[in-house]
Amino acid sequence: MRLFILDKKGLAIVLCCLMVTIIAIGILTNTGMKAVQTATEQKELPIYSVETDKKQVAISFDAAWGDEQTHKLLDILKKYKVKSTFFLVGDWVDKYPDDVKDIHKAGHDIGNHSDTHPHLTQMSVDEQKKQIEDCNNKVKELTGERPKLFRPPYGDYNTTVVQSVKSLNMYCVQWDIDSLDWKDPTPAEMVDRIVPKLQNGSIILMHNGAKNTPEALPMIIEAVRDSGYEFVPLSKLVCDNCKVDYKTDVTGRTLKE
């Protein structure tokens, strides 16, 4: 039997190799545990659509910058007797207070779209809540009502954002049908994007400042109604069917309790 005797240098090399092996095992184990934990955690989602037996859908308009189209849209909605939801940024409320009052007076929902339109996922919880509450306060001062609905700017959210919204007793709302009106498609292209995707509880996204939206809106309303759906404001679609502490499936569709 041959015996191997290590000198100090050899022993140091062996110990270093052993330490590297232990560290590597620790890293792999920790990574594996984190992967399992992430897989089992349920990411909280906003409401993309609402589970309902009624053939009801909601149309919504985000308002963050100009107001050139706002009254055209209000006139069209009035003509067709459609109640919608306008998600307003606080800065927009500051610039166009009379438009805010007109939207409210016409019976449309006013939702919260943050105060300055930032990426909320890059902010602390306190900063997120301040963005939401500052806009709430501005809307309430002009209309007497505090918004119940919130839409994250850029559609950018994470679980923390959703939880911040819920903690303020509000609903975090996205959409399941995007008109892409901000890309200036033709009215016919917008109709073709929207109608095939309709389902009970759908939420349609549009913008108050897109070039072709006023021309497209009558066509969209008529096509949606021809498909057998009724327009309702988001407050009715969401609040009548969901609790603030709502649950969704993996697509963001609310689940009935």
Residue 3 tokens read as: 């015996």
| Angle at the Cα of 88 from the Cα atoms of 83 and 120, rounded to 5 degrees | 130
Full residue range of the structural domain in which residue 128 is found? 56-239
Task: Give the pLDDT band of residue 131 (cuts 50, 70, 90).
Answer: very high
Number of Cβ atoms within 10 Å of the Cβ of 177 = 22
pLDDT value for 39? 36
Share of the chain above pLDDT 90, in %: 78
Residue among 7, 62, 67, 245 flagged as catalytic? 62
Q: Is the domain of 98 the same as that of 177?
A: yes
What sign has the CA pseudo-torsion 161, 123, 126, 139? negative
Spatial distance between the Cα atoms of 102 and 96, rounded to a whole number of angstroms: 10
Q: Is the domain of 99 the same as that of 126?
A: yes
Of the listed ranges 27-36, 113-122, 210-219, the one predicted with least confidence: 27-36
Spatial distance between the Cα atoms of 111 and 39, rounded to a whole number of angstroms: 33
Question: Tens digit of pLDDT for each residue in 33-87?
Answer: 343 333 335 689 999 999 999 999 999 999 998 998 999 999 999 999 999 999 9
Q: Is the domain of 36 the same as that of 65?
A: no
Q: Is the domain of 70 the same as that of 25?
A: no
pLDDT value for 27? 44
Q: Is the domain of 77 the same as that of 180?
A: yes
Q: Considering only residues 83 and 3, tell me which one the structure prediction assigns the higher pLDDT.
A: 83
pLDDT value for 35? 39
- The reported pTM is 0.83
Share of the chain above pLDDT 70, in %: 83
Residue among 113, 119, 207, 226 flagged as catalytic? 207
In a domain, 250, yes or no: no
In a domain, 5, yes or no: yes
Residue 172 has pLDDT above 60, yes or no: yes
pLDDT value for 117? 98
In a domain, 97, yes or no: yes
Q: Considering only residues 207 and 21, tell me which one the structure prediction assigns the higher pLDDT.
A: 207
Spatial distance between the Cα atoms of 46 and 48, rounded to a whole number of angstroms: 6
Active site includes 207?
yes
Q: Is the domain of 132 the same as that of 192?
A: yes
Question: Tens digit of pLDDT for each residue in 146-160?
Answer: 999 999 999 999 999
Q: Is the domain of 24 the same as that of 137?
A: no
Q: Is the domain of 140 the same as that of 82?
A: yes
In a domain, 1, yes or no: yes
Number of Cβ atoms within 10 Å of the Cβ of 187 = 18
In a domain, 51, yes or no: no
Q: Is the domain of 86 the same as that of 148?
A: yes
Q: Average pLDDT for residues 88-105, to the nearest whole number?
A: 98
pLDDT value for 86? 98
Task: Answer for the pair 178, 62: CB distance below 8 angstroms, yes or no.
Answer: no
pLDDT value for 25? 45
Residue 190 has pLDDT above 60, yes or no: yes
pLDDT value for 14? 45
In a domain, 248, yes or no: no
Task: Give the pLDDT band of residue 20 (cuts 50, 70, 90).
Answer: very low
Q: Domain of 175: which CATH number?
A: 3.20.20.370
pLDDT value for 241? 87
Residue 13 has pLDDT above 50, yes or no: yes
Q: Is the domain of 179 the same as that of 84?
A: yes
pLDDT value for 41? 52
Q: Is the domain of 163 the same as that of 97?
A: yes
Q: Is the domain of 3 the same as that of 37?
A: yes
In a domain, 135, yes or no: yes
pLDDT value for 12? 52
Per the structure, the count of domains in the chain is: 2
In a domain, 245, yes or no: no
